[in-house]
Amino acid sequence: MEQIVRILDIHNVTHNVKQFIVEKPDGFTFTPGQATELSINQPAWENQKNPFTFTCLTGEHFLEFTIKIYSDHPGVTNHLGELEVGDELILREAWGAIEYKGPGYFIAGGAGITPFIAILRNLHQQGAIGDNKLFFSNKTDQDIILADELKSMLGENALFTITNQKDSVHDQRRINEDFLKAEIKDFSKHFYVCGPDPMVQEITGILEKLGAKADALVFEK
């Protein structure tokens, strides 16, 4: 099912990530962590379907997407970055790769944080964030999506690691075996992993070796 929705607001979240607030059709539902295939409702773009994750609370009267813009080639996100309020997208049904199954560890790289934004916001709203822990890896401090909000929801349980900035104010360890052995106290909890393919492959391999069952989602191309 396809529905045309108007963009209501666009704002920058980081230097290369934008949030798009769009109309929510009556009766449209999704589960936190789910994505949809979006298209831009313009000739030449309407058949290009790319997956993006809902990042808003399920109860909002709008939908929100948090999208990393690749402006180095004329793909879909580059064109999304050129859109304006009032432009239209084609929305399709929500489908799920990841959902909250219980307390545990969220491990994200870059724009792989988006399903966790939806899950953590909804848990926070329900007062159910508990002792869930987030490890969020980025290249530089300025790449961290919604750093302040993640800190305010999770406090000390949000740990940012920065891999390519020597003067970062954050932890500078890579999320590797030593990191996971040091930081994970309970391997029987849930593990949610989302980010670029090589990162997800590496981390899920280590987690399995250490005795965990990872609910992995390979995310960025």
Ligand X SMILES: Cc1cc2nc3c(=O)[nH]c(=O)nc-3n(C[C@H](O)[C@H](O)[C@H](O)COP(=O)(O)OP(=O)(O)OC[C@H]3O[C@@H](n4cnc5c(N)ncnc54)[C@H](O)[C@@H]3O)c2cc1C
State the DSSP code for 204.
H
In the complex, least distance from residue 24 CB atom to ligand X, rounded to whole angstroms: 16
Which is closer to ligand X, CB of 19 or CB of 184? 19
In the complex, least distance from residue 61 CB atom to ligand X, rounded to whole angstroms: 20
In the complex, least distance from residue 184 CB atom to ligand X, rounded to whole angstroms: 25
Which is closer to ligand X, CB of 95 or CB of 176? 95
Name the residue whose CB lies closest to ligand X: 75
Q: Which residues bind ligand X (CB under 6 A)?
A: 35, 50-53, 65-68, 70, 72-73, 75-78, 97, 111, 114, 219-221
In the complex, least distance from residue 117 CB atom to ligand X, rounded to whole angstroms: 9
Nearest Cα residue to 69 out of 34, 106, 110:
110
State the DSSP code for 39.
E
Which is closer to ligand X, CB of 74 or CB of 155? 74
Q: Each residue of 88-113: b (16+ CB within 10 Å) or e?
A: bbbbeebeebbebeeebbbbbbbbbb
Which is closer to ligand X, CB of 114 or CB of 132? 114
Which is closer to ligand X, CB of 24 or CB of 68? 68
Handedness of CA 176, 170, 12, 75 (dihedral sign): negative
In the complex, least distance from residue 114 CB atom to ligand X, rounded to whole angstroms: 3
Contact between 114 and 120 (Cβ < 8 Å): no
Contact between 38 and 89 (Cβ < 8 Å): yes
Reported as type and span, the H/E element at residue 219 is strand 214-220
DSSP assignment string, 130-146: TT-EEEEEESSGGG-TT
